[in-house]
Structure 1
Amino acid sequence: MFNRHVTRRAAEYPHYIAIERLSAPKTQDESGEELSADGYWETLAEGWAKIEPVSGRDYFQNLQVQSALTHKVELRTFVDGVTPRDRVSFGNRTFNIAAIINPEERGRQLELMCSEQQ
């Protein structure tokens, strides 16, 4: 759970999200047997946020129409250590983090500019 300074009213943050980090894959289990080389996503932090669409566009790729939608995820509190390699999970939706903004450089809030995975 986000646990730093609360700077705004809870009603302004209606979305319960998780920030997830890809863990390094284990290559062997306790008995020494080889495991899958894929990592897994583990929860770094979770709490209330506000998710807002910022921009969207359609484009052609491989003879198909694709959509790109950018969102701003505003966290009610500051979370240390978030990087663009992490992701935001909200229900069955996943957002890749493109940029991290610390408004006013005060360490009280966090804004994540994200693109939604299709």
Structure 2
Amino acid sequence: MTILVNRLDKRVKVYRPPGPEETDEYGEPLNVPIEVCNIWAAIEPLQGREYFAAMQVNAEVTTRIRIRYREGVDRTMFVKHKGLEFEILYTINPKFENKEIQLMCKERQ
């Protein structure tokens, strides 16, 4: 676990879209994303062999974001870091150990 902790050097926020039943204080439907968590992460642009391997699965994957395992993080969410937004395309729970989640993402423009 020490190796994972040392790599988590970026503070990121994970957001989810509002549900249809969620409303603001005036009873109007929410149209802004809802912050799920503010956590430490490792942001790793894919390059070389990793990038080409990811392209075989999903041609748009450009970045891997590693976080500690957290229940409920899924591909309907997105991540923000210093003005950058990353759309989560899929998640990986290595060896199903519930120690970390790898968020395979593409950067939003």
**CA shift digits 1:46-76 (9 cap, x unpaired):** 21111011157xxxxxxxxxxx66100011x
Unpaired runs of 5+ residues, structure 2, are 52-59
The answer as to whether partners of 1:22 and 1:40 remain within 8 angstroms in 2 is yes
Whose strand fraction is larger, Structure 1's or Structure 2's?
A: 1
User: How far apart are 1:38 and its partner, in Å?
Assistant: 5.8
> In structure 2, what residue type is equivalent to 1:49?
A
The answer as to whether partners of 1:45 and 1:79 remain within 8 angstroms in 2 is no
Match of 1:14 in 2: 9
Segments ≥4 residues shifted beyond 4 Å: none
Max Rg structure: 1
Matches within 5 A, 1:7-86: 7-9=1-3, 10-24=5-19, 26=23, 29-30=26-27, 35=28, 39-55=31-47, 70-75=62-67, 77-86=68-77
The answer as to whether partners of 1:53 and 1:69 remain within 8 angstroms in 2 is no
> In structure 2, what residue type is equivalent to 1:15?
K
Q: TM-score, normalised by structure 2?
A: 0.75
Q: How many residues align?
A: 95
User: How far apart are 1:26 and its partner, in Å?
Assistant: 2.8
Unpaired runs of 5+ residues, structure 1, are 1-6, 57-67
Whose helix fraction is larger, Structure 1's or Structure 2's?
A: 2
Report the aligned-residue RMSD: 2.3
Percent identity of paired positions between Structure 1 and Structure 2: 21
